[in-house]
Structure 1
């Protein structure tokens, strides 16, 4: 799968904000409000396109990839770059996750040479947890935000 990484645009942000995931993944639905679109535009978010130039996903780095409740629990020590990502709902669960995530990691490894990566995932998202483990991430801690358990995973 040949994937292209672009800067976030208002058009991409509007598309992402309109994506709707099926339960239990609806937890990841974005706000289609102007504030939701503005967040995607202002923070370090990137669009991921297929070889036809169609938006298939996105990722972000830094504090925007962290869950605020985790910060309160001490989950985010210095020395790591946090990654957050999302794939177009119609593409999830179809075996594209490995190519999608490894392309993002490869891009970041070149751009941010020598850094350590960390991500936070909802524990119920077993597909994502399995993918992250397969790519070399290991669990470093767990925390709750309300009733939802999160896993913090790190990769050297």
Structure 2
């Protein structure tokens, strides 16, 4: 599967705001607000497309990929590149997550032109995502809670993408 990416634009952001995930993943549904739209367009988000030009998902880096309560627990003290991502709801669970996530990691490693330790923050109920990240070399680090949801940070200390 071939992907490409570019900075998120208003058309993609508007579509992503309408994505609807089914239980138990409805946690990832975004509110369709001006504030959320502004965040998607703040320059930290990238749209990811399949080779046919269809929007497949997105990723973000930096503070946009962090959960605020993690700062209180010291989850973001180590020097890492924080990465967040989302796939179009009807594509989740289809076996395409590994190639999608690998594309993101490869793109970021190339963009940074150096070896980077990547960090993800994932809700612990999302067993599919955690299994994928583990398969690609990520290890669980710090667990914390925000608004009744448990999260864990995961890093790739061996950085298999280099």
What TM-score do you get using the length of structure 1 for normalisation? 0.97
**Matched position secondary structure for 2:41:** helix
Distance 2:78 2:122 in 1: 19
Partner of 2:110: 110
Matches within 5 A, 1:55-74: 55-74=55-74
Residue 115 of structure 1 deviates from its aligned partner by 1.5
* Structure 1 residue 37, shift from structure 2 partner: 1.1
Take 1:3 and 1:106, find their aligned partners in 2: how far apart are those partners? Answer: 11
CA distance in 2, matches of 1:78, 1:13: 30
- SS of the residue corresponding to residue 57 of structure 1 reads strand
Cα distance in 1 between the residues matched to 2:128 and 2:78? 27
Partner of 1:126: 127
- What residue number does 2:149 align with? 148
Aligned length: 156
Secondary structure, aligned partner of 1:49: strand
- 1-structure distance, mates of 2:67, 2:25: 16
8 Å CA contact 2:109–2:115 kept in 1: the answer is yes
Once residues 29 and 43 of structure 1 are traced to their aligned partners in structure 2, the CA distance between those partners, rounded to angstroms, is 21
Q: TM-score, normalising length from structure 2?
A: 0.94
Partner SS, residue 42 of structure 1? coil
8 A Cα contact 1:31 1:37, kept in partner: no
Unaligned runs of 5+ in 1: none
SS at match of 1:52: coil
Q: Which string of whole-angstrom CA distances, capped at 9 and with x for unpartnered residues, describes residues 42-72 of structure 1?
A: 1400000001111110000001100001112
CA distance in 1, matches of 2:69, 2:91: 29
CA contact (8 A) 1:2 1:50 kept: yes
CA distance in 2, matches of 1:14, 1:38: 11
RMSD, aligned α-carbons: 0.9
Moved over 6 A (4+): none
CA–CA separation in structure 2 for the residues paired with 1:150 and 1:62: 17
